[in-house]
Structure 1
Amino acid sequence: MPLPGESMRAVMDTIGYAFRDESLLSVALTHSSWVNEQGGGALRHNERLEFLGDAVFELLVTERLFTLFPDAREGDLTRLRSSLVSTVSFAAIARRIGLADSLRMGRGEEQQGGRDRDPLLADALEAVLGAVYLDGGLPAARGVVGRLFEDRWPAAAIMPVKKDYKTRLQECTQRLKGASRGLPVYAQAEPSGEEHAPHFTAEVTLPDGRRFTGEGQSRRASEQMAARQALEALGALDERADAQEKTAVLRGSKKSGIYHFPGCRCYNAAGNDVEFRSKEEAEKKGFRPCRVCSPR
């Protein structure tokens, strides 16, 4: 049973891509809870497309950052990518383009607030990109990613980027010697919990064989928590840096509707009269990033 045409047209208009095979988009917008309530059978949901879209996002964001910042080091590019390819980032984009209004989900999921859950929104955005890739190939997907992230490329260059736990752990293990040196390996257990609130558990194995687990509401979050446990065991967890990151704020002007990152020339402007803890919070309240301070 395809989605209503107006729902799919709204998504196509927003992302700037017209599907040749609209059934792909219909599947991308269908949550597993809806299929389960319909009895399953031959009906399809978006989890496979989400898996594909995740990989396409990572490739194309990496490609774009590589081109935009030719002098950036590998570690800096990795951290920039982590700030863009994340559940929080994808969910913020999904909210901005109104993707939740076009999703098809079960009543239970709906009643549990599924349309406003970050992991569900992020998964749906990934599924839509996976569908675009299957329908139009890499050029079509590249165009969609460019439009979705249009206001985020310059912001990424200005914003001080947090080194996430996975990045820190990788850097840490590569500095070690002997059998302890190498890359950590991540594995996922089967999700548990209710369908509307899945619970994920990840395990990271260090080069020396030690293993650590982490839990979260998304695969990414659980892997980050596993990496954090490993860092703590290695004595490499910088709690002071974490505390400083949590207190960093963005500043904006209610009159202009623009927000600024620490380091922007306009950050201390007299007209700034509101503060945010994250760019997602700012954008959820209708603010947009400063372009005046963006690199040319």
Structure 2
Amino acid sequence: MPRAFLAFLMPGESPPPARAAEAPVRAARERVRELLSRAATRLGGLYALLEADDGRDAALLAELLAEDLDAAAAGLAWREAGSLAEDRAGLGLLPSQDALAAFAGRAEARLAALEDALARRRAGAWRLPGDRFEARAAWRARVLLVVGVAVLAAAILLGETMAKRTRRFAANVALERQRREAAAALADMADLARAAKVRSGQSLIDVTGSNCTRCGCDGRDLRGAPEGDVCVRQWERALSRIGQAAGAAPERLSRFARDPWGSPFLLNENEGESADFPFEPDTVASAGQNGLAGDADDIVVAVPNAGPGR
């Protein structure tokens, strides 16, 4: 870790100055560290070559790996096992895959042992005055990293929560606007239907030629229903006849082609349909946001009665 960065992590403190007498220890430590780092890379490459069944290159890489580990052992004055270079040489020029795999396992164990030996040496004979300062700075760096990750995760979570709330609010605003548009269109349609009844002197059943234009449309999603759909055809026919009876311009009728969610409007002609309930009003409705006619999401407006004595 760069000394300038370490000093940044330790405000008010300075690392002990490097002394000339420490140079040999620093050089020895760095040399062993480099050898072990390179050995770890070569060990990974050896396993990859064995996996690829490349015995020739694996044999060559095993030799280089053994040289690095033996050099690290010499730098540490570590003599707890024999030479890996001799071990590799004993396998022959082109060892079998199994022999190389076994050698790789021994090299991996040697690498772990040498890394432990380096750690012990750094804590003992190779310990320098600046090591404690560096260790404390490294600990602070890890704490800062953990805190930074936690803060970033919290910020992301908070941002996502706020984004969800914003999207939900925008969706609610858009839905409310659509429902107002649908209600306004239905109120206008109710006025148009009543005008058709007054002007023609007929009930809406007689004007449209149907006692239930919406029948057959309940319980299914009407949003985006194609032009040939029965509900679309029934609504267009009823709208055309109401418009003719009311003397409405085509521009006004175009408003009633579909509701804000793309469903045809729904008309139920009730006035005068039943002798028991002759004054039950006609209704015009929108299937609402979910496009399903006949549920609580519908928007329904009654058409004022216009028959004799009503």
More helix by share: 2
- Do these two structures clear the TM 0.5 threshold for a shared fold by scoring above it? no
Question: What TM-score does the superposition give when structure 2 sets the normalisation length?
Answer: 0.21
More strand by share: 1
